[in-house]
Amino acid sequence: MPKVVTRFAPSPTGFLHIGGARTALYNWLFARHHGGDFLLRIEDTDKKRSTEEAIDAILKGMRWLELDWDGTAISQASRADRHQDVALEMLANGKAYRCYASTEELAEARETARAEGRNFRGDLWRDRDPAEAPEGAPYSIRIKMPREGEVTIHDAVQGDVTVKNAELDDMIILRSDGTPTYMLAVVVDDHDMGITHIIRGDDHLNNAFRQYQIFEAMGWDVPVFAHIPLIHGMDGKKLSKRHGALGVEAYEEMGFLPEAMRNYLLRLGWSHGDDEIISTKQAIEWFNLESVGRGPARFDFDKLDNLNGHYIRECDAERLLSIVKSGLENTLDRALERAEIDRLSRALPALAERAKRLPELVESASLFCNTRPLELTETAAKQLTDDVLPVLEKVAKELEAVTEWNGPVIKAAIMSFAEAEDLKLGKVMQPIRAAVTGGKQSGDLVETLEILGQDETIGRLRDRVAA
Ligand code: GLU
């Protein structure tokens, strides 16, 4: 097999769509699996709808997902001259012809075809002599589609798909203003970029038959097509705004890790036995087009959450710390102090066990920041009634006397205090927890106190007494 070259060819009209991200991922994996190239082409020919911001959003989304492309991103619009040359070459070779029909004539012919139950092929000038056109009249260039036979595309995902050539219209390849149509631009670019495999959404399957004819007309190799089913929402309907987040950046904001996203998008339409957790390294090793499903995949946030939880737990300690640190610095609007960072690095492994999304983790980690006096949740406030405040005061004193601040010593101090006061352990622990955490989700209390440190713990207890 010659070197594999794939491409992702988004139209920059908004954000990086979640379905587009999956298409990009499959192209990337396929190229990486085969040691080939993965190219990026921005299909920015629709000047009215393409914006710089949308291009930036796509590049940003790709970078966030760590889908690195080879070479520089190619702008389709910048290649218009080349597209035009190809149209003229097709004209010169008799594979295309000039069409002088006006918009009105075409509309009329379309109407007649419909009334007669025929396919409209736009072929008013196919067999006419251009000399019949008025001097200097504007014309577009149309491809001369074959009328006989049929074409079978051996789609790597859909299997063999056959279309009768008679169903194809003589589509315009170059408009009368000299601009290329999308259908022409895609084929010329795919050829010039040396694309061997076109992996894209199955909403482009019909286009493949029209594009095939341009490849043929130019005598170019036709790439392998692989049309992947679209993503549907949980309700089985095509993914749309109603289903919520469509852009990749929304997933970054919701606190998903890029590796979790890759794993999720990979499984959304591709499988490897019963494996759910598939690292990127394994994905590169295993990815193939044969195992892409033929049915539409359903988007499922619970699955994504579970995978994200897995990757949060797997996350390298330093990276997780830096993510949480910047999250906290954002919410607190200040830099974290050394002591806070130290507490975080000790607390994070346990916190990571429970988190599904990063904001949740940041929220639970905020417990370890200097934010005295803490705000109390309603539940915590209810637990800190007047009659427990003397207990807190005494326990603070007891903990102040501790000379070696570590788990077993702290625990022993609290237990002996409870015993001396003739209180059930819970009656002591519960108000301590409420005062020290303010009611935030927290794990093992003694461990929390240990990590918070002696001064901070006593400070938080005394804040309540003083309040
Ligand atoms: N620009 C097209 C789109 O965003 C993709 C074209 C292609 O992959 O051939 O849907």
pLDDT, one tens digit per residue, over 239-248 is 888 887 889 9
Does the Cβ of 14 fall within 6 Å of ligand 1? no
pLDDT band at 311 (very low <50, low <70, confident <90, very high): very high
pLDDT digits (tens, 9 = 90+) for 19-68: 999 999 999 999 999 999 999 999 999 888 889 999 999 999 999 999 99
Pocket residue to mutate for ligand 1, from 43, 209, 212, most atoms within 8 A of Cβ: 43
Residue 467 clears pLDDT 80, i.e. is over it: no
**Distance from the CA of 237 to the center of ligand 1, in angstroms?**
21
Q: What is the pLDDT of residue 46?
A: 86
Instruction: Report pLDDT for 414.
Output: 97
| Dihedral sign for Cα atoms in the order 253, 259, 263, 265 | positive
pLDDT at site 237: 87
Q: Which whole-number Å values give the CA distances from 172 to 188, 203, 427, in the listed order?
A: 15, 20, 81
Tell me, using a 6 A CB cutoff, whether residue 76 lines ligand 1: no
User: Does ligand 1 lie within 6 Å of residue 204's CB atom?
Assistant: yes
Helix (H) / strand (E) containing 98: strand 96-99
Cα-to-centroid distance, 334 and ligand 1 (Å): 44
Segment 381-388 mean pLDDT: 94
Q: How confident is the model at residue 260 (pLDDT cuts 50, 70, 90)?
A: very high
Amino acid sitting at position 364: S
Q: Please state the rounded mean pLDDT for residues 152-159.
A: 98
Query: Is pLDDT above 80 for 105?
Result: yes
User: Burial, 55: exposed, middle or buried (Cβ in 10 Å; 0-12, 13-18, 19+)?
Assistant: middle
CATH fold label, 79-228: Rossmann fold (3.40.50)
Which residues have a Cβ under 8 Å from the Cβ of 68 and sit 6 or more positions away? 28, 38, 62
Query: Which secondary structure element, helix H or strand E, spans residue 143, and what is its range?
Result: strand 140-143
Phi, psi dihedrals of residue 274, rounded to the nearest 5°:
-100, 10
The CATH code for residues 378-466 is: 1.10.10.350
Query: Ligand 1 pocket test: which of 8, 30, 186 has the largest number of ligand atoms within 8 Å of its C-beta?
Result: 186
Provide the pLDDT for residue 121.
95
CA of 155 to the centre of ligand 1 (A): 17
Q: 1-73+229-314 and 79-228: same fold?
A: yes
Catalytic member of 144, 241, 303, 440: 241
* d(CA 303, ligand 1 centre) in Å: 28
Asked whether 19 lines ligand 1 (CB < 6 A), one says no
Task: Tell me: pLDDT of 125 over 80.
Answer: yes
- 243-280 burial, b at 16+ Cβ within 10 Å, e below that, comes to bebbbbeebbebbbbbbbbbbbbbbbbbebeeeeebeb
For a ligand 1 pocket test, name from 5, 199, 200 the mutation site with the most ligand atoms within 8 angstroms of its C-beta: 200
- Percent pLDDT > 70 in the chain is 100
Q: Which helix (H) or strand (E) holds 197?
A: strand 197-201
> Hey, where are the domains in the chain?
1-73+229-314, 79-228, 316-371, 378-466
Q: Does the pLDDT value for residue 466 go beyond 90?
A: no
Give the distance (Å) from ligand 1 centre to CA of residue 11: 6
Cβ(12) to ligand 1 under 6 A?
no
Predicted pLDDT of residue 241: 80
- Ligand 1 pocket, residue 9 CB under 6 Å: yes
Paired with 201 in beta bridges are 228
* pTM of full prediction above 0.75: yes
Q: What is the pLDDT of residues 396-449, one digit of tens each?
A: 999 999 999 999 999 999 999 999 999 999 999 999 999 999 999 888 999 999
Per-residue pLDDT reduced to its tens digit, 261-295: 999 999 999 999 999 999 999 999 999 999 999 99
Average pLDDT over residues 95-120: 95
Residue 281 annotated as catalytic: no
Whether ligand 1 lies within 6 angstroms of the CB of 23 is answered as no
Interhelix angle for 182-192 vs 80-92, to 10°?
100
Atom number in ligand 1 closest to CA 8: 8
> Does domain 1-73+229-314 bear CATH number 2.60.40.420?
no
CA of 106 to the centre of ligand 1 (A): 27
List pLDDT tens digits, range 160-214: 999 999 999 999 999 999 999 999 999 999 999 999 999 999 999 999 999 999 9
* Binding site membership of 11 for ligand 1 (Cβ less than 6 Å): yes
pLDDT average, residue stretch 141-150: 97
Residue type, 59: L
For residue 246, report the distance from its CA to the centre of ligand 1, in Å.
Answer: 17
186 Cβ inside 6 Å of ligand 1: yes
Q: How high is the pLDDT of residue 14? A: 87
Query: At 37, phi and psi to the nearest 5?
Result: -110, 145
Structure tokens at 210: 């029209």
